[in-house]
């Protein structure tokens, strides 16, 4: 009676390289929308290797831009990324190194979150922030309706401030300086308020915040002085 042959791993290895929508999104996050529609190409180990090496290179460059003060963290993350790169270069149907790649990625994440020295404690604090343009881009993409509603609300707020300042006899150049808007923009707002009051037959709403009123009054006093 013939002995059964051990099951081949070839099928399992081929199964590892297949359509991958999640990896497509990761690459799009890193390099833009040109990677959309390429999820099917991840069935090719050579394409996977190319993408992995490209991603590692960009991550390393970004971390070296960020980690300018913490020398040890920069050294550790570069070392981990070097190890990850070595494993990425081995990607093929024959090489079974997925767990090594996963291990290096987890190692990188733990260091970036502040873990170190193999004691389960946080040794670095992490602080993320967005500038105004980045925050607006998030809102615009995630929820366009809320973004434009917020934008219109900010515009109303500016119009009300201009109205409040003009009521306190502040000259236009003071309004420009206080609100950080151009003289052209200031004139357009004043014209709009004038047309609104003429057509509606009522006063345009005024911003009545105490701190702003105090600032307006103090500026008016300086101007008169």
What is the tens place of the pLDDT at every residue in 28-60?
Answer: 999 998 899 999 999 999 999 999 999 999 999
27 and 108 fall within a common domain? yes
Per-residue pLDDT at 213 exceeds 70: no
On whether both 108 and 140 belong to a single domain, the answer is no
Tokens of residue 140, six digits:
């615009």
Q: With 90 as the cut, is the pLDDT of residue 207 above it?
A: no
Are 53 and 91 in the same domain? yes
pLDDT grade, residue 153 (50/70/90)? low
Whether residues 75 and 152 share a domain: the answer is: no
Residue 153's alpha-carbon distances to 92, 157, 160, 164, in angstroms, are 55, 6, 11, 17
> Is 90 exceeded by the pLDDT of residue 77?
yes
SS3 206: coil
Q: CA-to-CA distance for 112 and 63, rounded, in angstroms?
A: 10
Q: Which residue has the higher pLDDT, 208 or 109?
A: 109
| Band of pLDDT at residue 191, cut at 50, 70 and 90 | confident
Residue 144 and residue 93 in one domain? no
In a domain, 121, yes or no: no
In a domain, 163, yes or no: yes
Tell me, yes or no, whether 108 and 142 share the same domain: no
Which residues in the chain belong to E strands, given as ranges? none
What are the Cα distances from residue 49, in Å, to 16, 42, 43, 183, 189? Answer: 13, 9, 11, 55, 56
Q: Identify the domain containing residue 200 by its residue range.
A: 134-224
Give the total number of structural domains in the chain: 2
Residues 105, 169: one domain? Answer: no
77/37 same-domain check: yes
Q: Would you state the pLDDT for residue 212?
A: 46
User: For the CA atoms of the chain, what is the radius of gyration?
Assistant: 30
Domain boundary residue among 112, 147, 182? 112
d(CA 73, CA 64): 10
Residue 186 CA, distance from chain mean position: 32
| Same domain for 174 and 93 | no
Same domain, 138 and 218: yes
In this structure, is residue 119 part of a structural domain? Answer: no
Mean pLDDT of the chain: 81
Specify the pTM: 0.58
Asked whether residue 150 is assigned to any structural domain, the reply reads: yes
Question: Reduced to 3 states, what is the DSSP secondary structure of residue 212?
Answer: helix
More confident residue, 208 or 12: 208
């Amino acid at each position: 009676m013939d002995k059964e042959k051990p099951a081949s791993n070839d099928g399992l290895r081929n199964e590892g390289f297949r359509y991958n929508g999640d990896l497509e999104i990761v690459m799009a996050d890193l390099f833009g929308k040109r990677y959309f529609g390429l999820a099917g190409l991840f069935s090719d180990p050579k394409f996977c290797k190319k993408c992995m090496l490209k991603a590692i290179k960009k991550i390393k460059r970004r971390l070296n831009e960020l980690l300018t003060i913490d020398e040890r963290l920069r050294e550790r993350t570069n070392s981990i990324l070097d190890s990850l790169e070595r494993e990425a270069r081995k990607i093929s149907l024959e090489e079974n190194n997925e767990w090594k790649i996963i291990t290096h990625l987890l190692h990188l994440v733990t260091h970036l979150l502040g873990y170190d020295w193999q004691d389960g404690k946080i040794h670095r604090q992490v602080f993320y922030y967005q500038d105004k343009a980045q925050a607006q881009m998030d809102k615009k993409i995630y929820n366009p309706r809320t973004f434009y509603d917020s934008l219109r609300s900010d515009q109303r707020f500016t119009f009300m401030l201009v109205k409040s300042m003009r009521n306190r006899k502040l000259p236009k150049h003071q309004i420009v300086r206080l609100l950080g808007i151009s003289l052209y923009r200031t004139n357009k707002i004043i014209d709009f308020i004038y047309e609104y009051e003429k057509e509606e037959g009522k006063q345009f709403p005024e911003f009545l915040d105490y701190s702003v009123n105090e600032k307006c009054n103090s500026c008016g006093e300086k101007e008169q002085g």
